[in-house]
Structure 1
């Protein structure tokens, strides 16, 4: 593994119960990291997959929309591994309604989880990492960090914000040994896209626009998250990496 080796590292992954979070958590464990799997519903399956690889893992359930919940998550993560080397801010929600009908609560819920939580958990981890002079934070952005989308105004605003936070924190912390970057997944086969996949015409029109000719899967994020969490990316700061099968190149 060389510069991609994460042996002895402790990684916190939010939204780790399934989908992209599960894929990334397992990928980090395959590279040698021990995992703090965080979700609001439990990550037993993810923990079992990691332990089967011979790595340590802990399942933390928390309300990530509240500052107290985030503080407790970070405290427990430190108790588990003694330190946090990597933070992957993956937890997110989406509410699909036309902008003219988008409820205030839907907007607020999405912004709270997708944006405010990313900043506050990054702040908690960042303070710890700055004291140690090293650390990696990987935020999960989106194609909607670049585009407007349809019927997802809150989600789009939140993911634009994630890209902005990534760059802002990198400006402050890059010179202090802490690298902050983001992954912008393209169209991925997860529960978040189930509604689109079930619309056969729209699913096919999207697939036809992807140069790779297929939608992504959680496994497609393993390599990128390991890269951004390892010493291989020590000179990469404030970058939003598109993992999209070529979608943005069209």
Structure 2
């Protein structure tokens, strides 16, 4: 169980990059954290519970939320950070590409969010955050991104729908739409090229993302927001 007054965050895709940064950021706030990914290692921190599993399998969502409730007794925040990005010309996407993107980006969001929302509504408070991409709002000729736009665009629309459905019940929903962030996903050899794709002339850092999520965490009057953390990409070029 949590200590008196301790809140609890569930973070998907939590083993590296943005997800690992989010685990650290929520711990700094004093939250207990349930961290999940396919390859996550056990944590030596007693306030971080790790659960291995493929988020595209609804059974993983069931295990993550059940384990969080068993350990901490509540769920206050869910950050749907797990995601796949497959950049190919539209006609070259395979059935496997499609299933992977739908599985992680949409199915991975759906069941765990249902289960977390159920707990939040019972508590009368909670916060659901999606990590998306600014390509949803501002397609770029530099990046072929139909599968990302199809799935992450769905998440942004769902974020607004959840925000309105739950606005009178103490549960907020927001999204953070990203530019290109320095994570293990991007080889260092491409950094200069990727930096040039942002009006601010640099790639995002993990801290840029975590600061945005933590801002939303404390912004009690903000719901249904799509917060762009993208170096100006969505504004234009």
Q: TM-score, normalised by structure 1?
A: 0.85
CA distance in 1, matches of 2:204, 2:117: 30
CA distance in 2, matches of 1:204, 1:131: 44
CA distance in 2, matches of 1:59, 1:148: 36
Per-residue deviation at 1:215?
1.0
Moved more, 13-22 or 118-127: 118-127
Quote the residue 1:186 is aligned against. Answer: 179
Per-residue deviation at 1:204?
5.0
Quote the residue 1:236 is aligned against. Answer: 222
Q: Which has the higher contact order (CA 8 A, sep 6+)?
A: 1
Quote the residue 1:134 is aligned against. Answer: 125
CA distance in 2, matches of 1:222, 1:107: 29
8 A Cα contact 1:89 1:139, kept in partner? yes
Give 5+ residue unaligned stretches, structure 2. Answer: none
- Size of the aligned set, in residue pairs, is 230
Give 5+ residue unaligned stretches, structure 1. Answer: 1-6
8 A Cα contact 1:145 1:161, kept in partner? no
1:48-67 alignment, distance < 5 Å: 48=44, 51=45, 56-67=47-58
1:70-149 alignment, distance < 5 Å: 70-149=61-140
Q: Does 1:210 align with 2:199?
A: yes
CA distance in 1, matches of 2:138, 2:232: 15
Q: Does 1:29 align with 2:27?
A: yes
Q: TM-score, normalised by structure 2?
A: 0.90
* Deviation per residue, 1:112-135 (Å, 9 max, x gap): 111222122111111111111101
Q: Does 1:222 align with 2:210?
A: yes
More helix by share: 1
Per-residue deviation at 1:243?
1.2
Per-residue deviation at 1:70?
1.0
Per-residue deviation at 1:160?
0.6
Per-residue deviation at 1:203?
2.6
Query: Pairwise CA RMSD of aligned residues?
Result: 1.9
CA distance in 2, matches of 1:25, 1:171: 27
8 A Cα contact 2:34 2:64, kept in partner? no
